[in-house]
Structure 1
Amino acid sequence: MVAPDVKAETMKLMDRRGALEAEMDAIIARLTAPGGPGITGGLVDAEGFPRSDIDIPNVLAQRRRLAELRNDHQDVTNKIDKNLEILHSSKLSRNEQTTSRGSDTSASSHIGLPQSEPMEEDPVTRLPFAMIDEITDGSPAAVDGLQLGDEIVKFGNVEAGDRLQERLMSEAISNEDSQVSLAIVRQGSAMNLTITPRRWHGRGLLGYVLLHLGINPNYLFSQQKKLHC
């Protein structure tokens, strides 16, 4: 069984990453405001003199802070990724034990041995891999009951992992006009829904945009992956 501190640490790390992203977002908004220097824009005018319309020391400080936050964000994401590997490995191990126990239970029923209760799946091991960032009115996603902020744990047979967009699109296309099971977290509560990928007047088969939650260790806040479905 996975130690409880690994689960608790993972949730704390996700909260920490969210705080880092919020601070980075605020800095980027200030630097890229109208008339601002941008994240990497020049700080001198056409004649090579320091720009007089901006506070150069402050801009440099914000850029340094942004670089520090990105490094911290990378470190936190790498730790989350490692913990997720541990949690998912533990899940697979428990599933194998449950299957083996089921076989033993079947045999025991014929020889009078006591049967044991099956192990329950720990929901903490099923962490969301993406969040619904945009949803179009009248889209299949909206009609079927999805909401902004819903966090996706499992879409059909797709869970967290590599080639996420490719697997999500394949799952949607292969199930066009058929119901697909969906495991989500909404406002902290786990829910199971069904959604039917189908043609409509808008983009994709579902009509929502997923914001990848950054399980990929190469994830950077400035390159957030938005998955159109």
Structure 2
Amino acid sequence: MSNGIKPSVAALNARELIAQKDRIESEINDFEEILRGQKVGMHEPLIDNSGYPRDDIDLVAVRTARARIIALRNDHKEIMNKIERALHEIHAENQANGRTEEKNNSSSAETESSRQPRPFAIVNAIAPDSPAKEAGLLKNDKIIRFGSIHAGNHQNLQALTILVSNSEGETLDITIIRGESESEQTLVLKLTPRRGWGGRGLLGCHILPI
């Protein structure tokens, strides 16, 4: 269920950049799979000990895959820089909106400060051996805060996606609500987005907006 907030221009731009990033990563994976099928990587020699082209691999396929991987990795670096700039733009917008909201609601500051933080997303699935699993996240955990992202600035989870893409290898604090009614508890977990855990993505979990 969406919170009904219309994404800003910066958020829409970030959404498209993330889609481009995902397409690039998918292409890189495809070409890396070609190399794995040939049982070579990016640096093995393509000639034998006698100086002749190797006859145990498809030389054209390997050379093409290597060239495309190099080009795509350069594209990926560039798109990540653009995503970082988009994140800064969204952060600046959120700060500006926060200042405006604070000014407009200054007369009710005491009421707002006493209000319980509300969750903005729920964990729908967790992959085995994933960073999310290692952090201790469970299905149906409700997320109150994910790093700097909360109910007031998540932009239908687009800001969260950008934050994760820009935080690979960094440890983020995740505040969650677990359980229902009398058994409900608030926990703070540590999650480090990373690749190479055996699956796709940096988290290994599926998160839905509330």
Q: TM-score by structure 2 length? A: 0.57
For residues 29-75 of structure 1, give each alpha carbon's deviation from its aligned partner in whole angstroms, at most 9, with x where no partner exists: 11023x52212211112222211111212211111111111111111
2:6 matches 1:10: no
Q: What is the letter of the counterpart of residue 6 of structure 1? A: A
For residues 173-227 of structure 1, give each alpha carbon's deviation from its aligned partner in whole angstroms, at most 9, with x where no partner exists: xxxxxxx327xxxxxxxxxx97646xxxxxxx78x87447xxxxxxxxxxx9968
Name the residue aligned to 2:25: 21
Tell me, yes or no, if the aligned pair for 2:46 and 2:59 is still in contact at 8 Å. Answer: yes
In 2: Cα distance, 1:25 partner to 1:154 partner:
32
Query: For the structure 1 residues 29 and 46, does the alpha-carbon distance in structure 2 shift closer, same or farther, using more than 3 Å as the test?
Result: same
Look up the SS of the partner of 1:32 in the other structure: helix
Query: For the structure 1 residues 165 and 58, does the alpha-carbon distance in structure 2 shift closer, same or farther, using more than 3 Å as the test?
Result: closer
In 2: Cα distance, 1:138 partner to 1:163 partner:
17
Name the residue aligned to 1:55: 58
Q: Please, which runs of 5 or more residues in structure 2 have no aligned partner? A: 1-5, 110-119, 150-162, 178-183, 205-210
- Residue of 48, 60, 67 corresponding to 2:70: 67
Q: What is the letter of the counterpart of residue 88 of structure 1? A: H
**1:149-164 pair list within 5 angstroms:** 154-155=145-146, 158-159=148-149, 160=163
Name the residue aligned to 2:116: none
Q: What is the letter of the counterpart of residue 17 of structure 1? A: K
In 1: Cα distance, 2:51 partner to 2:62 partner:
17
- Residue of 169, 176, 188 corresponding to 1:181: 176
- Residue of 134, 137, 140 corresponding to 1:141: 137
In 2: Cα distance, 1:19 partner to 1:82 partner:
19
For residues 69-102 of structure 1, give each alpha carbon's deviation from its aligned partner in whole angstroms, at most 9, with x where no partner exists: 1111111111111111011111011111211222
Name the residue aligned to 1:85: 88
Look up the SS of the partner of 1:181 in the other structure: strand
In 2: Cα distance, 1:18 partner to 1:164 partner:
15
Tell me, yes or no, if the aligned pair for 1:133 and 1:210 is still in contact at 8 Å. Answer: no
Larger Rg: 1
Percent of counterpart pairs with the same letter? 23
Kindly state the Cα deviation for residue 5 of structure 1 after the two structures are TM-superposed. 3.3
In 2: Cα distance, 1:196 partner to 1:101 partner:
32
Query: For the structure 1 residues 52 and 134, does the alpha-carbon distance in structure 2 shift closer, same or farther, using more than 3 Å as the test?
Result: same
